[in-house]
Amino acid sequence: MSIEVKNLTHIYGKNGPYEKVAVDNVSCTFEDGEFIGMIGHTGSGKSTLVQHLNGILKPTEGTVIYNGIDIFDKNTDLRKIRQEVGMVFQYPESQLFEETVYKDIAFGLNNYGIKGDEADIKIHNAAKMVDLDYDLLQKSPFELSGGQKRRVALAGVIAMEPKVLILDEPAAGLDPAGRISVLESIKNLHLTRGITVILVSHSMEDMAKYASKLVVMNKGKLELTGSPKEVFKNQKQLFEMGLDVPNMCKVLAKVRALGFDVPESVFDVEETAQVLCEILRREKC
């Protein structure tokens, strides 16, 4: 079980005056159950690339193979692929439209013919998964706060019980607590249901915290892949691409430059504090 991107190229406005190669011959494989973090400057092609994974965009060249099935083959049932590969767009709350939160979450399910008690269970499960109080289900989505709306939109996709969940900047514009809560919901979903997560984000700290593998896009090309430890080692290269490394990476790089032995796989504030305490303890002896 995997998603395989094969020599995928996407050109917007091909042969027109504004022709733009957004994705340029990218090949990569997302294995089943991985938590992938995708980073890249604005315009690097991340959003364009992920919109191919459930066939929202059609490639100019190349293809995507989902569990051995070429999703762009004319005999492939894209509806079925989309049921398994769910996508949460940027600012998904702008897509809420129903009278109640409940109906909004139900919309996708109903479209796939899932109704009645079966839908009801899935809707409640999804709401629970994203920490949405059941009392909110009968409210209008437009009465909710920004963070709650975001969770409703997320629940609508989760209710479909996808095997792969693609999220484009799910925490953008949320306050720090809202950000943590949404990302923790996604992490729990990944852990409890074993789904594959592909998360697009500009926060290097979040990437280091949640992703097991990073994919770095630059000017339409796949520039780096590897564990956070492997990717964040390339500080200079990431800066040149308009990206960054987690804050704690910068602190530890400076401590390393003072001649101390510091592990490369530490990105978390607590762990950094631990490492620094040990250094101080050794030095004071």
Partner 1 sequence: MIKTQNLFYFYQEQESDNKTQVLKDISLDIPKGEFVALLGHNGSGKSTLARTFNAILIPEGGKVYVDGLDTSDENLLYEIRKKAGMVFQNPDNQLVATIVEEDIAFGPENLGVESKEIRKRVDDALNAVGMRAYISHAPHMLSGGQKQRVAIAGILAMKPECIILDESTAMLDPSGRKEVMDTIKKLNHELNMTVILITHYMEEAAQADRVIVLDEGKVVMDGKPDEVFCQVDRLKELRLGVPEVTELSYILKQKGVDLGDGILTTDDFMDRFKAVIGK
- Quick one: which of 34, 32, 76 has its CA closest to 54? 76
Quick one: which of 2, 33, 43, 76 contacts partner 1 (CB under 8 A)? 43
Q: Does 255 bind partner 1 (CB under 8 A)?
A: yes
Interacting residues with partner 1 between 137 and 196 (CB under 8 A):
140, 142-143, 145-147, 169, 172-179
Closest CA to 102 of 128, 146, 134: 134
Place of tokens 């769910």: 86
Instruction: Answer for the pair 126, 49: CB distance below 8 angstroms, yes or no.
Output: no
Cβ-based nearer residue to partner 1, 34 or 169: 169
Token pair 């490492």 in the structure block, residue: 275
* Least Cβ distance, residue 154 to partner 1 (angstroms): 15
Query: How many residues sit in the footprint of partner 1 (CB under 8 A)?
Result: 44
Site string for partner 1, 190-229 (x = CB under 8 A): ------------x-xx------------------------
Beta strand 221-226 with 213-218 is antiparallel
- Which DSSP symbol is given to 32? T
Residues 45 and 142: their CA atoms lie apart, in Å, by 32
Interface with partner 1 by CB under 8 A: which residues? 18, 40-43, 90, 140, 142-143, 145-147, 169, 172-179, 202, 204-205, 239, 242-244, 247-248, 250-251, 254-255, 258, 269-270, 272-273, 276-277, 279-280, 283
